[in-house]
Structure 1
Amino acid sequence: MELVLTVLEITSPVFLLALVGYIWVRAGFEYRVQFVTRLAMTLAVPCLIFTALMKTEVEPAALSLVTIAAIVAYGAVTVVTWALVAGFSLDRPTYLAPLIFGNTGNLGLPLALFAFGQEGLGYAVVIFAVMAVMAFTFGIWLVSGGGSLLKAVQEPMVSATLLGALFLWQGWKTPVFVTNTLELIGQMAIPLMLITLGVAVARLTPGGIGRALWLSLVKVGICVGCALGAGLWLDLPHVALAVLVLQVATPVAVTSYLLAEKYEADADAVAGLVVISTLLSVVSIPVVLAFFV
């Protein structure tokens, strides 16, 4: 019973903040998702990534190991998911990227922080950075059917990741007043992302509920299995292993829906995946955490 209460204490702030966004829209209040998303992804999240990497107390060698583990885990997920999509004759631009890349920003970062503190957040930011680079390069290529990988360097999140990694490896620090300012901006990121997630879910019209349900269930199994296998193979420390499994197993991100809309994939099908996998995560995430907390 104590473990259940601990898991609920960890997960409830995430879903309650998303519920705020959901209720806000259902009540008829205005919420400009495009503006808030741009503010979060262009300013708040890059500041969060940079300061988290710069101030992390995790050994650089351990971070390197987590980076390798994340690459291996996502590589394994890609191979298995590609086979799944091909085997069931699913549309690759529509389904492949959403099934590979999860909501590591909106859900993964706050969950890692709530469950494992600053150490967990340090690992989570590294895994999020790996996912972001892959999602905004390989992921866009999958959804669009082509495209330049050079788009990645234009993303503020990627630039912040590379700069933060440089500061981490060199042991550099920004002046205190700069660090405090960047931290203050970065603190906006998690509540903004969670509330926006609730808003986006409230506005989506899911399609193909049956297919979305079984694909969401399969996604959890594939992601947990691949992340756990990669972590155990590389002998990750307990907290790093827990964060890796948690991050890789997060539900389909709202950005997958936005990319589907932009590149004219089946956006309704992706919307269904976002809604169903997010609802499913209310059960799956506590179950995953229960094994590690």
Structure 2
Amino acid sequence: MWKQSVNLILTVLEIVSPVFLLAAIGFIWVKTGNEYRIEFVTKLTMTLSVPALIFTALTNAQIDPAALTKLSIATIACYGIATVVMYVAVKLLKLEMRTFLNPLIFGNVGNLGLPLAYFAFGNEGLSYAVIVFAVMAIWSFTFGVYITAGGGSVWTAVKEPLVGATVLGTAFLWQGWTLPKFAMNTLELLGQVAIPIMLITLGVAVARLAPSRLGRAMALSIFKALICTAIAVLLGRGFGLTSTPYAVLILQITTPVAVTSYLLAEKYGADANEVAGLVVASTVLSVFYLPLLLAFVV
């Protein structure tokens, strides 16, 4: 029993250590006065590297397309229920809807969730994770923008390269298609850039935030983690997901508040400092609860 517990702890540490160490590199890089053009890097990864990663992960996936369909439906249900629950919570707590609803719904599925799924479950886990990421991105770029900005458009999500990469990659997976070897090698090489860069960028973003009211932010972060975990566990079981997609769904849905929520708040005039507090508090909290979740699902 003792040996099994030690092996489990070592396995979890092997999974989470690269995630947080790469984020720490970005944090230290900025804190020591080095330059990091986060807008350029984010645009580069979200326009080229992440879509390439999504497409190649789906095209090369050796998994049942039906399992991806089931996971997609479960993910949509998770975000739908989370939206209703968080809307009611924000109303009851008398918080500003434009500031708090978006970060309480959406997690850092891209910068943190994709690498975590990859390190925990390899290419199979990554293939499932990009589905959750795509659903989140579409919901975030439509409903999320609408809430934060007071208006939005479906076209905002449709024109995102990662959405097109998901649709195209899913079509290739269903039909068993592939691209010429030189094209796939190029896209795979481009996609490999995404995971380390996203983690380093996460550390940079956290280092540059100016958080406020960290006590309330920590309380809300704990609430978000508990609610999202409960929703993912119940729906994962309810939809009968097998072990890997079930684990990936839980990890993705329960990731801490995304830096994107802060950027949207800053862009559209919500209270960006409050959101910064949520990003910092939930990210610090995730250092403790993500390893526990991994021990539960691995």
Q: Which bracket does the TM-score occupy, shorter chain normalised?
A: over 0.9
Which deviates more from structure 2 when the two are superposed, residues 261-270 or residues 146-155? 146-155
Residue 165 of structure 1 and its aligned partner are, at CA, apart by 1.4
2:242 aligned to which of 232, 237, 240: 237
Structure 2 counterpart of 1:183: 188
- The code of the aligned residue for 1:234 comes to F
User: CA–CA distance in 2 between the matches of 1:7 and 1:137?
Assistant: 35
Structure 1 counterpart of 2:86: 81
Structure 1 counterpart of 2:171: 166
Structure 2 counterpart of 1:208: 213
Structure 1 counterpart of 2:31: 26
User: CA–CA distance in 2 between the matches of 1:282 and 1:166?
Assistant: 36
User: CA–CA distance in 2 between the matches of 1:227 and 1:292?
Assistant: 12
Structure 2 counterpart of 1:63: 68
Structure 1 counterpart of 2:229: 224
User: CA–CA distance in 2 between the matches of 1:160 and 1:138?
Assistant: 21
Structure 1 counterpart of 2:267: 262
Q: How many residues get paired?
A: 293
1:50 aligned to which of 43, 46, 55: 55
TM-score (norm 2): 0.97
Q: Say which SS state the counterpart of residue 291 (structure 1) adopts.
A: helix
User: CA–CA distance in 1 between the matches of 2:7 and 2:56?
Assistant: 34
Structure 1 residue runs of 5 or longer lacking an equivalent are none
1:139 aligned to which of 141, 144, 153: 144
User: CA–CA distance in 1 between the matches of 2:111 and 2:141?
Assistant: 16
1:22-43, CA deviations, whole angstroms, 9 ceiling, x for partnerless residues? 1101110111001101111111
2:197 aligned to which of 192, 196, 207: 192
Residue 292 of structure 1 and its aligned partner are, at CA, apart by 1.3
Q: Say which SS state the counterpart of residue 151 (structure 2) adopts.
A: coil
Q: Say which SS state the counterpart of residue 265 (structure 1) adopts.
A: coil
1:17 aligned to which of 7, 11, 22: 22
User: CA–CA distance in 1 between the matches of 2:132 and 2:120?
Assistant: 16
- The code of the aligned residue for 2:286 comes to S
Q: Are residues 1:92 and 2:97 paired?
A: yes
Structure 2 counterpart of 1:251: 256
- The code of the aligned residue for 2:57 comes to A
1:101 aligned to which of 97, 100, 106: 106
Structure 2 residue runs of 5 or longer lacking an equivalent are 1-5
Which deviates more from structure 2 when the two are superposed, residues 273-282 or residues 118-127? 118-127
Asked if the contact 2:143–2:152 (Cα under 8 Å) also holds between the matched residues in 1, the reply is no
Residue 2 of structure 1 and its aligned partner are, at CA, apart by 2.1
Q: Say which SS state the counterpart of residue 182 (structure 1) adopts.
A: helix
Alignment root-mean-square deviation, CA: 0.8
Residue 280 of structure 1 and its aligned partner are, at CA, apart by 0.3
Residue 64 of structure 1 and its aligned partner are, at CA, apart by 0.3
Q: Are residues 1:7 and 2:23 paired?
A: no
Residue 79 of structure 1 and its aligned partner are, at CA, apart by 1.1
TM-score (norm 1): 0.98
Structure 1 counterpart of 2:77: 72
User: CA–CA distance in 2 between the matches of 1:148 and 1:74?
Assistant: 19
Q: Say which SS state the counterpart of residue 297 (structure 2) adopts.
A: coil
User: CA–CA distance in 1 between the matches of 2:72 and 2:154?
Assistant: 20
Which deviates more from structure 2 when the two are superposed, residues 3-12 or residues 277-286? 3-12
